[in-house]
Structure 1
Amino acid sequence: MKKNLFLIFFTLSFICNAQTKDKIDTTKLFKELTDQACSCIDSISTYNRPKDSITANIGSCIDDKVGAYQLGQKFANMDLSNPTGEKKEINVTLNLNKNSQEYKDIYYEMEKYLMDNCSVLKDKIAANNLVNNNSMSTNQKALDLYNLAIEETKKENYKGAIENYKKAVKIDPNFAFAYDNMGICYRRLEQYDLALESYEKSLKIDPNGLMPLQNIAVVYSYKKEYQKAVKTYEKIATIDPNNPEVFYGIGQLYALHLNDTEKGLDNMCKAYKLYVEQKSPYRTDAEKLIQMIYADMKKNGNEAKFNEILKANNLNSN
């Protein structure tokens, strides 16, 4: 028997009506399993944890459901009725090698579904809660106000949240996370200059803070100051060179706003490879942008250049 094949023997007892042919609804099974994966992802803690550790946990939540779905697919075309009520032995061969195309296809299908339908997934992979010396306050009153602000943010009461963050930093001026989250609230209210001001205050406390830097890049994009956004991502790269968000952000800016699809594609390929290596579900977003760039380059007769850039990044057009 090949190493990557597992022969699983199931002895199933069915008590069914003689005229009934039981069938498994694979569409329903897929949704049930991915909903379970979403619940698993929701339970993952992101506090003071590096991204690769969080994405590894997310991958495990999805991995746990792939085998179950494979099994359901195998049973879907079998007649599971058993009018005699006797024990019925069914032999099923599953390919559980994670590098097999069968396994990858199901994993990526589940991942795409979760990106579109599991809101907590993006929250988990976007979390940047690594704690440095001044990230959190040691003052209980400041922490209480911070937690009140978090609750207001969940209710989308961003103005109320900002007021509590302001009170928290008045008590503890070195409360970096309060400035970071205040900036996010200002950004959601489209008060971009105030958002930048909040992030800059956080950076004065922690000059290498990845959360404010990433958010500064996003705000510059909203303000259509694209070169400033690129420079901010480049600064992040000096701190965290294997951060795929750097290459994704730069690639998106060049492809969609700076009219340089070749630079956009090269950076997006680098982002895609890092997402795959880190098992990040953001791989699907990078894939979509690569497909968009391909359509544009093909339209302009640059398909050969597209393939050349992919080859340079050890990717193929499939």
Structure 2
Amino acid sequence: MKNKLFLLFLSLSFVCNAQTKDKIDTAKLFQELTDKACSCIDSIPTYNRTKDSITANISSCIDDKVGAYQIAEKFANLDLSNPTGEKKEINVTLNLDKNSKEYQDIYYKMEKYLMDNCSVLKDKVAANNLVNNNSMSSNKEALDYYDLAIEETKKENYKGAIEYYKKAVKVDPNFAFTYDNMGICYRRLEQYDLALESYEKSLKIDPNGLMPLQNIAVVYSYKKEYQKAVKTYEKIAKIEPNNPEVFYGIGQMYALHLNDTEKGLDNMCKAYNLYVEQKSPYRTDAEKLIQMIYADMKKNGKEEKFNEILKANHISSN
């Protein structure tokens, strides 16, 4: 059944100052509203939460600001001058249906701005702090070393952080999050083999750990071992078949590194659809890569194939 359009009619009666036309600075208001959405996103907790619940909270932060901007945009186009001083009635129609083009255009505009300007957004979406049996430690000494390592990481002192992580796992060898974070530090130091070694130790403790698997795929891409990266993403798919990061990662490998734009596009379309379904702001990243693939396929006379793949994934070429 098609969703009905819900229209809100606002009938406002007011007396305007004579010979004036009030102006609303929509650009300034847009920035103020998205900055507030960013603050809302910053307050979202991520510890031991699924990605779906986190992205739902992010979407709510943006949703709350869309209606306010719609109202402002409508009034910005109204002539509020009233030289006669008489009561003036103005009717404003707002389409608040979240599936409407009007609503989605503003939502996606805000989402894109936040992806480019709200650094905490990507941190929240990338958070993978779902706790399993051995993710965290119950040993106070190990936890103290872990906390010290986190502080050093925040200061980008990755070597110092690694030393504290090593002390933490010496106290508690089954502290999986320590190996995960140690691997990230090694990766940032471009010590990729040591990063892989850390992630593998984490997987021995928790074979289904998504954080180490996702990071192993990233490390393989840095090492230019793209087929190994694809294989790792395929392992993640067996654990989380609807994880859009799987299709995004595979799409990247094929489109940008393995010279197979068709397979890359098909996977990127699947990622895009899942991002949209899950209201993930990473939709914009998938969209950018699809546009890049289009430019490449068009240059090579494959525009028809591009449209065919989009159609198979129920995506409009517009």
TM range (shorter): over 0.9
Match of residue 206 from structure 1: 206
Task: After superposition, give the CA deviation of every residue in 1:207-256 in whole Å (9 maximum; x if it has no partner).
Answer: 00000000000000000000100000000001110000000000000000
Match of residue 27 from structure 2: 27
Aligned mates of 2:156, 2:112 — CA distance in 1:
27
Task: After superposition, give the CA deviation of every residue in 1:61-120 in whole Å (9 maximum; x if it has no partner).
Answer: 000000000000011122445689887654321100000000010000000000000000
Match of residue 134 from structure 1: 134
Measure how far apart 1:292 and its partner are: 0.5
Alignment-mate amino acid for residue 301 of structure 1:
G
What is the correspondence of 1:215-230 to structure 2 with a 5 Å cutoff? 215-230=215-230
- Match of 1:47, SS state, is coil
Is 1:42 the counterpart of 2:42 in the alignment?
Answer: yes
Match of residue 253 from structure 1: 253
- Where structure 2 has 5 or more consecutive residues not aligned to the other structure, the ranges are none
Match of residue 8 from structure 1: 10
Task: After superposition, give the CA deviation of every residue in 1:170-203 in whole Å (9 maximum; x if it has no partner).
Answer: 1111000011011111111111111111101100
Match of residue 290 from structure 1: 290
Match of residue 163 from structure 1: 163
Count the aligned residue pairs: 315
Match of residue 54 from structure 2: 54
Q: Kindly tell me: are residues 171 and 85 of structure 1, through their superposed partners in 2, closer, same or farther at Cα, counting changes over 3 Å?
A: farther
What is the correspondence of 1:43-192 to structure 2 with a 5 Å cutoff? 43-80=43-80, 90-192=90-192
- Are 2:19 and 2:82, in contact at CA under 8 Å, matched by a contact in 1? no
Which segment is superposed worse, 81-90 or 22-31?
81-90
- Match of 1:8, SS state, is strand
Measure how far apart 1:154 and its partner are: 1.2
Measure how far apart 1:11 and its partner are: 5.4
Aligned mates of 2:296, 2:94 — CA distance in 1:
40
Aligned mates of 1:75, 1:317 — CA distance in 2:
33
Alignment-mate amino acid for residue 143 of structure 1:
L
Aligned mates of 2:15, 2:146 — CA distance in 1:
56
- Match of 2:10, SS state, is strand
Q: Kindly tell me: are residues 211 and 35 of structure 1, through their superposed partners in 2, closer, same or farther at Cα, counting changes over 3 Å?
A: same
Q: Kindly tell me: are residues 20 and 152 of structure 1, through their superposed partners in 2, closer, same or farther at Cα, counting changes over 3 Å?
A: farther
Aligned mates of 2:292, 2:261 — CA distance in 1:
10
Aligned mates of 2:182, 2:212 — CA distance in 1:
11
Measure how far apart 1:12 and its partner are: 5.7
Aligned mates of 2:19, 2:11 — CA distance in 1:
26
Q: Give the structure-1-normalised TM-score.
A: 0.95
Aligned mates of 1:86, 1:124 — CA distance in 2:
52
Q: Kindly tell me: are residues 303 and 231 of structure 1, through their superposed partners in 2, closer, same or farther at Cα, counting changes over 3 Å?
A: same
Aligned mates of 1:23, 1:9 — CA distance in 2:
19
Percent of aligned pairs sharing the same letter: 86
- Where structure 1 has 5 or more consecutive residues not aligned to the other structure, the ranges are none
Measure how far apart 1:156 and its partner are: 1.2
Measure how far apart 1:150 and its partner are: 1.2
Q: RMSD across aligned C-alpha pairs, in angstroms? A: 1.7
Q: Kindly tell me: are residues 24 and 127 of structure 1, through their superposed partners in 2, closer, same or farther at Cα, counting changes over 3 Å?
A: same
